Amino acid sequence: MSPFRLFLLLLVPLLLAGCSEPVGDDDDSSDDDDAVPDFVDATFVFAPAVPGEDVEGIEVTWGEEVVATDANGRARFTLPSRTDFAVSGAAAGIQTTWIEGNTGVRSFQFTTFVGSTDLHDQVVASIGLPPRDPARGTLVVAMDTAALQAALGAVANVSPEGDHPFVFVNGQAELGRELVFQADGFVTFPNVVAGEVEVTVTPPESNICLSFPGLSGPSDYTTYTVHPGAVTTAQFICQ
């Protein structure tokens, strides 16, 4: 496996079984408030970027609650519905990974791959970007269709931005912020200044992009927090 493919696994938050019903049928604005649950079940899966690496015992933190992952990298929480959340996964030897979003009204599973910083350093060097600044962080903006394919034509912007963003096309890193033909479904923003950033996703023609897992509207969940030396994932479904 090439170092670029390993890096892809390191950073890409893959969406698995996010909703109990098809994404296209979920419209929080039309829900009867009396039918909205007070809580949703949230499963976070931290899978190994390199097959065979141990993912048991990763400390996944939400507020003051800490749950250690099982042998399959899973950690389960009960979260309030329609609530913004941020969880982090941390352990020796892996890059701390944050997952942010709004819980919405349906139980969900959110999977991300975790690994070390070595592959990140190789990739940014290969496309002439500055070395990783440990005082800054990395923001990954994933943009998928409801069928979990790259939302080709979608464009991600971040403010403030940091170093030039890049995408993977045919397994090779290229500078850019648009998901072009044969691109993987995410844009990586390296060396973003730690703190709050605004994420703007411009969808492909005749589409709308909603933040996962809560499927909030484009103006409802746009602020993410970048942490020093860590990865933050922002995920959108474009349809």
Considering its fold, how many domains does the chain have in total? 1
The 10 Å CB-count burial string (b at 16+, else e) for 129-156 is beebbeebbbbbbbbbbbeeebbbbbbb
Cα separations in angstroms, 120 against 6, 136, 189: 9, 14, 11
Element (H, E) at 231: strand 231-238
Q: Which pLDDT tens digit goes with each residue over 43-93?
A: 999 888 778 889 999 999 999 999 999 999 999 999 999 999 999 999 998
- Answer yes or no: is pLDDT of 7 > 60: no
List alpha helices for 113-232, DSSP H.
118-126
Is pTM, for the whole model, over 0.85?
A: no
Pair of tokens at residue 167: 């995408």
pLDDT value of position 34: 64
The parent domain of residue 86 ranges over 3-238
